[in-house]
A = this chain, B = another copy of it.
């Protein structure tokens, strides 16, 4: 007879492996209150019917014992862990804020966040590390994933493992090739276009772009839109491009600046590149913005602290995180695996500080 209502859990033989913390269970309360485990469950879960008198007694005992429900036990039964897996390179000024945004929204909805920090940029072992984290999350039965893919190619890694189990998945900041999932990020095409239009409007006709890795959608799209917009001016405006990593070095920046037909205004794929341009400009004794206008992307924490302050296209990382969380929470209600992919693009916002100026000022 599988009667578990028997008094006293087997405490006599404390198996070595079992940490056996002092955790209170429904049975503990039930025994003390003289009711069944189910009644306690109903009272504390506030569902079903029970008398006020019972409720008071049960609640009092639960509080005195500092009862805390075991969500894992519940999850094993309900199939919902109330946990979301968040997979992104958490260090660094951008993604840490995405994490914050996602966390806040999820916490408000009663979900907890499992954090996995994948490598910031792609390398040979990056996929392997990422896959390990994905597995760790699957094993803990997260209800959904919010993740920043290392690059377009990560599809193979995720698709099979996650989509196959029909666990909702939202990609953040970088798209996955053959997007089979929801996406939240910045409108990089708009950003690239705004950058070109802004610098052009300032009178610059020799533009430069310090680009990022082509295998990453955000970098690729910004460049695409920037170049396309420049081509569309049809007034002889030129655009020189140098591609580097996201963390462009001073050397990368010099490649773009240390030439005869130097651009008078440069759009960097990221504020990091802009910082590199500051360093290169200083080395070449170019004054910003008089000799060189610099436009960044992201509005990272240091943008306003540079001298002069960096003009940049601000992203809104907290909003990205929040939107991703909302999307993923929406998927959880639905029984349908994936009706149609949703995409949320947040427009970047031009912040003008001191690093950009009209072309004319270069001749003052």
Contact = CB atoms under 8 A, between A and B. Distances in A.
Contacts of A22: 164-166
A306 to B, nearest CB: 6
Contacts of A70: 76, 139, 141
A113 B114 CA distance: 6
The list of the 10 closest CB pairs from A to B, nearest first, reads: A96-B96, A302-B302, A91-B100, A115-B115, A307-B307, A2-B2, A72-B72, A71-B139, A113-B115, A103-B117
Report copies per complex. Answer: 2
Chain A interface SS verdict (over half): mixed
Interface of A: 2, 17-23, 66, 68-73, 75-76, 78-81, 83, 86, 89-93, 95-97, 99-100, 103-104, 107, 112-117, 132-133, 135-141, 143, 160-161, 164-167, 275, 278, 301-302, 305-307, 318, 332, 335
Nearest to A20: B79
Contact of A115 (B21, B99, B136): B99
A41 to B, nearest CB: 15
B306 A79 contact: no
Contact of A76 (B66, B72, B97, B166): B72
B135 A68 contact: yes
Contact of A17 (B20, B78, B112, B140): B78
Given A19-B80, A21-B79, A70-B76, A115 B103 contact: yes
Nearest to A275: B305
Contacts of A86: 115
Contact of A21 (B20, B166, B305): B166
Among A2, A75, A275, find the residue whose CB has the most chain B CB atoms closer than 10 A: A75
A66 B164 contact: yes
Contacts of A114: 83, 112-115
